[in-house]
Structure 1
Amino acid sequence: MKKKILYAIALLFVISGAKAQQNDGLPGVPQTESYVVTPVDTTSGVIVRKVSFLRSNNIVLVGNLFLPKGLDKTQKYPAVLSIHPAGSVKEQSAGLYAYRLAESGFVTLAFDAAYAGESGGTPHWSEAPYERVEDIRYAVDYLVTLPFVDEYRIGALGLCAGGGYVIATAPTERRIRAVAGVSAADIGAANRESWLRGRSVEEQIALLEDVSQQRTREARGAELMKVYMCPEPDESTAPSFREGYEYYRTTRAWHPRADNFYLRRSQATKMAFSAIENIYLLTQPVLLVVGEKADSEWQTERFYNALPGKDKEVFTVPGYSHIDLYDKPGAVNPAVKKLAEFFKRTLQ
C-alpha cells in the first residue's frame, strides 16, 4: 500500500502555496525557495523561513529559521539551535521543538545535517558524528550573522544523538552559552555497547571486522550498502527501536526525505565517536530531559555524572519513553516548558 506522506509536525504546519516575500523587512534571512511554511495555529504568530548556509567542503546546509511573533528587527534576541536525531530531518522532532521555543520568544533554527534531508554532501545517508559536530559550529556561524540575534545569547538543544552531538560540541564551541538534551544519547557508546548495553569487546570487534569487509567490497565496485536505523521489530528489539519504527516508518512521522536508512560503513564512524571525550571542558549550564520510561536513561545518567559544572539538571517527564519525547503532546509540553524556563534563565 502506498505510504501516505505526512510531516512529523503535520499538526502544526501546512505548506502554503503563497510566494515567499523576498523583501519582508527581515535583514539577514536568505531564502532558497519561493514558498513559506505557515503554522496551522495562525494565532501563534511564529514566522518560518527556509534558509541555507555553507559549511566546510562546500556543503550547503538547509534549515528552517523560526522567528517569534512580533519580531522587531532593531532588537537583539536569544537564539536556540535545535539538532535532529540520527536518521532524522529538520521537519520532524527538531522542527517541532524549534517551533515551540519560537512561541516562547526565541529565534530558533532547525537544519538538516550534512548528508541528510535537503542538505548537501555525498554519499547521502552517511552518519558522520564528527562532521555533525562541525555542522553545529557552522550553524552558530550562521546565527551570528543575523543582526537580530544576540551573539552572546545562543543556546543549543539536541534530541537523541543530536543531544550527544551538542554535548560534544559545546566544550570547545564557547559561543554556545547553554546546552540541553532531550532523550540525549551518545551515538558512539550506544553503538559500541549496544542500545541496552552488554555487547562485549569481542562482539564489537567482530562487528567492525564485518563493516571493514563491506568497505573493501564497496572499494572494489559493490554498491554502497544501506540498512535501516530502525528495522522491523521482533521479540529482541529494544523498546526505543520498536517505537522508532513506529515514529520514522509509519504515518506518525514518516517524511519523504527521511527514509530511515544509513550506510553500513557508518557503523565504524559511529563506534569511533565519543560525546564525552572533552566533556571536562563543558562548563556551560546543562539541562537533560528524559522520559521516566526511557530505556536510554543510562545515557542521561552517564552524561550527568561526567559533567564537571555545577549548573546541571536532569528533568524527568513522568510516564513517557525515549521516543514519546519526540512528539507526544503529554511529553513535549512539559519538556518545552522546562526548556523555555532554562534558556530564559541561562540566556538572559
Structure 2
Amino acid sequence: MLIRTKQEEWTMSQKEQYTFVLSDRVERTHVSYKNRYGITLAADLYTAKGLDPAQKHPALVIGPPYGGVKEQGPGVYANQLAQRGFVALAFDPAFMGESGGEPRHVSSPDIFAENFSAGVDYLGALPYVDRERIGAIGICGSGGFALSTAQVDTRIKAVATASMYDITAGSRMPFTTPDQLGELLADLGQQRYRDFENGVPEYLPAFPEEPVEKVPEGLDSVSAEFFSYYGTKRGHHPNARGNFTTTSMLAMLNFRSLDFVDQISPRPILLIVGENAHSKFYSENVYKAAVEPKELYVVPDAIHIDLYDRVDKIPFDKLTNFFLSAFHDANEAAGQEIG
C-alpha cells in the first residue's frame, strides 16, 4: 500500500488533473502495488461512500485507452460503477503516468496485459473484495490487453471492452506487402542503434503539452478524432501525450495477443462498440473468434471516443447487469462442481 508524507500529498494534489468530476457519493484513494516484474503501478481506488468493509463486494480493474491514463476514461468508468456497488480500480499502465518503469513511454503487449493481472492481485488482497467476483474492463487498446489477460488469468470471471483495439493486429495492418513491412523493420533496426548511441529511446508525442481550442488542419479523420479528445480540454492530460517510444512497435509486430480468445469461455465477454466507430471491426472480429457466452453491444449514434467519457452514451446499467449476472453464474457453477 502506498504511504505518502504530508508534503508528498500536497505535491501530488498540485499535479492532480481529472477530466471528470468525482461524484459526491464516491471516495477515491490513491494506491500503488507492484506487478510481477517488480514495477510499481499507480492507481485510484473508487468505492461508494459508506461501503460496508465487513461485507465482500464485487470488484473491477479498469484499463485506459492506449496512451491514456487513470485520470481519463478509467476514472469515468470507475466513478460511475462505484456508485453501483463495485470496488473499482483505475490504473496507469507501466511506463505511463504515475506508474513506474523505465524508460518512459515504452509499450509491451506482455507487460500491458500483466497490468490487469497485477490489478487483480491488489483487489483480491483487499479484505472487503470477493475474489470470486472480480472482472476487467478495457477501453480502446486496453480492451485487447484485458482480453489477452483473461485468456490465461482465470481469476478474471468476466471481461468487458469498450471501443476495443487489438494493438498487435493493428500494428501490421497498414503494411500490405512484405516489402513495406521489411522497410519498416529496417528503419526500426536503425532506430535501435540511434537509441543506444543517444542513451535514450526516441519518443515523439502526438499531442501538445497544453490543450488547444481546435483540431489542427490536415489530419486524417482518425487522427483528428483522437486529437479532439487528447489535444483539447475535453480529455487532455499532461501524462497522456500520445504515442510510445518508436521502437515499441517491434514488440507489437512480434505478437498476436488474441490468438486464444476462444479459451476465455465459459467466462463471458461483453464487447461494447459505437455504431459509427472507426474501430468497430476489431470488436466484430473478436466476437466471431470468441465462444459463448459472448455479446456484441452496439451503442447507437456513437463514435470511438464517445465511449471514453460520454456518460450519456456509455451503457453503465448494461455493464452492471453483465458483471453481476456473470459473477452469479460463476459462483453457481463453482458450487455445483464442489457439490
TM range (shorter): 0.7 to 0.9
User: How far apart are the structure 1 equivalents of 2:185 and 2:22?
Assistant: 48
Look up the equivalent residue of 1:52 and give its one-letter code: S
- Aligned mate of 1:76, from 37, 49, 56: 56
1:325 aligns with 307
Structure 1 residues 186 and 112, CA gap change in structure 2 (3 angstroms): same
8 Å Cα contact 2:109/2:257 also seen in 1: no
For the 8 Å contact 1:240–1:323, the answer to whether it is kept is no
Q: In the alignment, what sits opposite 1:204? A: 181
Q: Is the 8 A contact 2:23 2:79 kept in 1?
A: no
CA deviation vs aligned residue, 1:20-63 (integer Å, no higher than 9, x gap): xxxxxxxxx655453788995654x2111100001234311010
Report the Cα distance in structure 1 between the residues aligned to 2:261 and 2:323, rounded to whole angstroms. Answer: 20
Structure 2 length-normalised TM: 0.86
Deviations 1:287-341 (A, max 9, x none): 0000000111110111101112x11001101111011111123322xx2221111
Match of 1:220 among 191, 197, 202: 197
Does residue 278 of structure 1 match 2:260? yes
Match of 1:330, SS state, is coil
- Corresponding position: 1:252 with 2:234: yes
TM-score with structure 1 setting the length: 0.84
- 1:248-285 CA distance string (max 9 Å, x none): 12221111222224110111112223221222311110
**Residues 183 and 222 from structure 1, CA distance in 2 versus in 1: closer, same or farther, beyond 3 angstroms?**
same
Instruction: Answer yes or no: is the 8 Å Cα contact 1:248–1:254 preserved in 2.
Output: yes
Q: Does 1:34 align with 2:9?
A: yes
Code of the aligned partner of 2:32: S
Aligned residue in 1 for 2:337: none
- Residue 103 of structure 1 deviates from its aligned partner by 1.1
d(CA) in 2 for partners of 1:339, 1:84 = 16
Indicate if the aligned counterparts of 2:68 and 2:240 stay in contact, CA closer than 8 A: yes
SS in 2 for 1:185: coil
Alpha-carbon shift at residue 222 of structure 1 (Å) = 6.0
Q: Which residue is equivalent to 1:184?
A: 164
SS at match of 1:339: helix
Relative to structure 1, is the Cα distance of residues 59 and 294 closer, same or farther in structure 2, using a 3 angstrom cutoff? same
Query: 1:204: how far off?
Result: 2.4
Closer, same or farther in 2 for the Cα pair 1:330/1:122, shift >3 Å? same
Distance in 1, Cα, partners of 2:196 & 2:50? 54
Once the 2 structures are TM-superposed, how far is the Cα of residue 69 of structure 1 from its aligned partner? Answer: 3.1
The residue number in structure 2 matching 1:297 is 280
Of 147, 154, 175, the residue aligned with 1:174 is 154
Q: Is 2:207–2:241's contact at 8 Å kept on the other side of the alignment? A: no
* Residue of structure 2 in register with 1:119 after alignment: 99
Q: 2 CA distance for matches of 1:31 and 1:155?
A: 27
Structure 2 stretches of 5 or more lacking a match?
Answer: 209-214, 329-339
- Alignment counterpart, residue 130 of structure 1, candidates 110, 113, 118: 110
What code does the residue aligned with 1:88 have?
A: G
Alignment correspondent of 2:81: 101
**Stretch of structure 1 that moved more, 47-56 or 199-208:** 199-208
**2:46 aligned partner, one-letter code:** F
Judge which range, 285-294 or 63-72, deviates more.
63-72
Cα root mean square deviation, aligned: 2.2
Deviations along 1:208-249, one digit per CA (max 9) or x if unpaired, are 221111012222336521123569866562x33211111112
Aligned partner of 2:27 in structure 1 is 47
- Partners of 2:44 and 2:300 lie apart in 1 by 31
Aligned residues: 312
Please identify which structure carries the higher helix content.
2
Contact map agreement 1:276 1:306 (CA 8 A) in 2: no
Q: Deviations over 1:45-89 (max 9, x none)?
A: 211110000123431101000012321010000001111111111
Does residue 1:151 correspond to 2:131, yes or no?
yes
Could you tell me how far apart the structure 2 residues matched to 1:173 and 1:113 are? 18
Q: Structure 1 residues 202, 331: closer, same or farther in 2, change over 3 A?
A: farther
Query: Hey, what's the Cα distance between the residues in 1 that align with 2:216 and 2:165?
Result: 20
Deviations 1:163-214 (A, max 9, x none): 00001010110000000000011001111103xxx73343223222211110
Please state if 1:339 is matched with 2:314. no
2: CA distance, partners of 1:42 / 1:224: 40
